Amino acid sequence: ATRSRAHKKCTVIGGSGFLGQHLVQKLLEKGFTVNILDVRKTFDKQGVQFFTADLCSKEDVLPAFQDVSVVFHCASPAPSSDNRELFYKVNYTGTKTIIEACKEAGVQKLVLTSSASVVFEGTDLKNGSEDLPYAEKPIDYYSQTKILQEKEVLRANNPDENFMTVAIRPHGIFGPQDPHLVPVLVQAAKSGKMEFMIGDGKNLVDFTYVDNVVHGLILAAENLHPNSPICGKAYHITNDEPIPF
Ligand code: NAD
């Protein structure tokens, strides 16, 4: 009984955020009990235990990983922040701390929310596959630290030691409670910044509905076992066709 209870417990790092909250809701519906590790607490829910802590502190992270089989990593400073030091500290150094904490606590699976921007060099990509190399010149420092982060997580994959990792790469995520994408577009439109067109108006961009990202994260976790071909791999996730932006 202890084993199956442990199997049904997971931790969502960044569970107070936009994607994290949707993921937590779905995990609860699927019968998991959920720990949330986040620097802020945005809601209260039955079946959820909050650990209000910075993911960079292993000491504070470890209690949130006890008896947990899966850790979902959905935390990052906002891409719009221009704090390089913070991006490096949280996305890169902090992720290394999470990997160490997973191993110490005996967590078997780590599912990372990466970003499609890790392969974006600034020119249109249509049907870009996972065979694309990491961007040599990422478009911003946020993306650069998402590359460092993803490499670290995938390199840590070690099924022989019963520790398995996988990464899901969405691009722009939209849906209820989105704090980033749509509000920023609306604000830009209101302040008259949408009157200009960059390029020929046929630039492509990829948006994914938040439930599809959640679905991808949960499928990844469910299919991550020692003999699975998804171990140590990254997967793009999208709705369907990219749309003109
Ligand atoms: P969000 O800002 O809504 O949520 C991120 C959460 O992480 C917040 O609740 C924040 O408090 C928490 N957090 C930040 N730093 C932390 C720290 N040091 N310790 C603990 N918690 C910390 O962002 P989101 O849109 O939900 O993004 C989730 C993940 O998805 C991120 O990894 C992001 O890089 C990735 N992603 C998002 C998009 C998008 O369009 N929103 C696209 C691609 C990838």
Task: State pLDDT tens for residues 113-171.
Answer: 999 999 999 888 888 899 999 999 999 999 999 999 999 999 999 999 999 999 999 99
Residue 213, pLDDT score: 97
pLDDT higher than threshold 90 for residue 202: no
Residue 241, pLDDT score: 59
Residue 125, pLDDT score: 87
pLDDT higher than threshold 70 for residue 59: yes
Ligand 1 pocket, Cβ-based, cut-off 6 angstroms: 14, 16-20, 38-40, 54-56, 74-78, 90, 94, 113, 115, 170-173, 179-181
Residue 2, pLDDT score: 46
Using CB atoms within 10 Å of the CB of residue 243, give its burial: 0 to 12 exposed, 13 to 18 middle, 19+ buried: exposed
Residue 71, pLDDT score: 98
Index of the ligand 1 atom closest to the CA of residue 170: 43
Index of the ligand 1 atom closest to the CA of residue 89: 18
Average pLDDT across the chain, whole number: 92
Cα(17) to centroid(ligand 1), Å:
6
Residue 201, pLDDT score: 82
- 245 to each of 86, 116, 200, 201, 242, how far by Cα in Å? 30, 16, 10, 7, 9
Cα(190) to centroid(ligand 1), Å:
25
Residue 5, pLDDT score: 47
Residue 220, pLDDT score: 97
Say how many C-beta atoms besides its own lie within 10 A of residue 23's C-beta. 28
pLDDT higher than threshold 60 for residue 244: no
**Mutate which of 37, 62, 76 for ligand 1 pocket (most atoms within 8 A of beta carbon):** 76
ipTM over 0.95: yes
Residue 200, pLDDT score: 84
**Mutate which of 18, 59, 83 for ligand 1 pocket (most atoms within 8 A of beta carbon):** 18
Q: Is 142 annotated in the active site?
A: yes
Q: What is the tens place of the pLDDT at every residue in 45-55?
A: 999 999 999 99
Pinpoint the alpha helices (H) of 58-180.
Answer: 58-61, 84-87, 94-105, 141-155
Weakest-pLDDT range from 96-110, 140-154, 200-214: 200-214
pTM attached to this predicted model: 0.94
Beta bridge partner(s), residue 109: 70, 164
Cα(191) to centroid(ligand 1), Å:
26
Mean pLDDT for the stretch of residues 193-198: 80
Index of the ligand 1 atom closest to the CA of residue 181: 40
Active-site residue (options: 92, 141, 142, 235)? 142
Residue 66, pLDDT score: 97
